[in-house]
Structure 1
Amino acid sequence: MPRLRLTIAYDGTRFAGWQLQAPGGGRSVQGCLEEALAKLCGGLVRVHGSGRTDAGVHALAQVAHLDVPEDRAGLPWQRALNAMLPPDVSIVDAALVAAGFHSRFSATGKAYRYTLWTERAYVLPWRRPYVWNVGRYAPLDVAAMDACAGLFAGFHDFAAFCNAGSDPASTSRLVRSVSRVASPSPQEMAWEFRAEGFLKQMVRNLMGALVEVGRGKVSPEDIRSVLTMGQRRLAPPTAPASGLCLVGVEYASDGRGHKRHLFHQPEAGQG
């Protein structure tokens, strides 16, 4: 059967996450996609995502794949799906790819962006679902946060920054970079996290640590010790889901023979 690759954007505010939920467990992005695809394909079609995003987490470029019936391969998939999906999910790109392409196992890296709202006096209502309001902590010590972010780069055991609820074969990950990036307004501060892969709620835990450093509650050296000791109970609290957005999934090939492709071109500070 032909294999279709989708690049998907969604507002995670009203979703229980990417993954299908048990009956009564709430809406899922995967469920919305499979419901629309069932109508287009004439039966159940399983969608495989590059990874799970939790309840409330957003995406600019989640990647998924599925196999479609031969006689439906030529459908204008992007237009057809967008006509059927709810307003908080959009197909950014749709393309037929090689049968060996796998949205999860072919991925070589991911990028997440976390956005903080730092204005003390107010939060713009339309930005509230996409930021963590840390204005009451302002001003943050950005130099200390930068120093702490540098500690996360490289290959480390991130057991202290992995929440319960998963059982990975290893808690070690290669983090390529954690850095501040351009924000759409002076009231916001955006951070980008790039790695070969992430543990459960790892980005939110790293962001929680950075904010505690910025507040002066802990020092970068304290966080270095937490990283070394590997005990989650010693680490700062998890940051809220609202500020987190999956902005890219990287592959050595785009599935059509083109080398090294990163599925995202986000505007600065989105999500």
Structure 2
Amino acid sequence: MSYQHFAYYYDQLMEEAPYGQWISFFEQAMATVGADVSSVLDVGCGTGSISIPLALKGYDVTGIDLSDDMLAVAHEKSMTQHASVQFLQQDMTEIEGLPEFDAAVIFCDSLNYLLTEEKVAAAFHSVHRHLKENGIFLFDVHSLYKIHNIFSGNTFAENAQEISYIWQCYEGEYPDSVEHELSFFVHEEDSRYTRFDEVHMQRTLSVQTYEHLLEEAGFTVIKITGDFSENELKSEAERIFFICKKSK
């Protein structure tokens, strides 16, 4: 899924996203597995909200994304924040021409934009090829519970001064998928509002399916948790986290 107008307002709409918790999860996971990590591949990096903080912490970060608009925003942010990040336009299912990294992440449910098991498998294989021996792979996805009980059939809205939105969620054409219809209204200098509309589709899979695809790609699943917690995965967790290691 390639973001269009949405890319330039994404950070405003995501102001309350818990990016700090993703960074903490990354560092806690590295401590848990005892990994010595210096280089990180941020897959589906978007506007760099994970890449840039990791770079500012001293990691050598490369961020890839399918959307050149999102990457343009990410590059501008990195320059403003004096963070050294290499941003590249690449498809996560066909990563090419990059070195091997100590760790790779696909955070903020970016993996859910892949709508078939074949695409997810391709992404896992692609990441695997770009990890060093015993490299660590972390990612999160929406849970089945969230797709069916939080998203599907519901509408979300916010009326803010600079940008407002109406976000409607419908059952998607694939099993365990959702279609997001987003209309957002941007306040212009002459007091008018400009409206943009976009449609985004996401799908998730069962935990068992992800485990199977990871094993086939050559990963060992070390731990599965939910909602940024270190504790056992609960049935009503909305976001599922996987900690994996390249094993073969």
TM-score, normalised via structure 2 length: 0.26
Q: Which has the larger radius of gyration?
A: 1
Structure holding more strand per residue: 2
TM-score computed with the length of structure 1 as normaliser: 0.24
Higher RCO, Cα 8 Å, sep 6+: 1
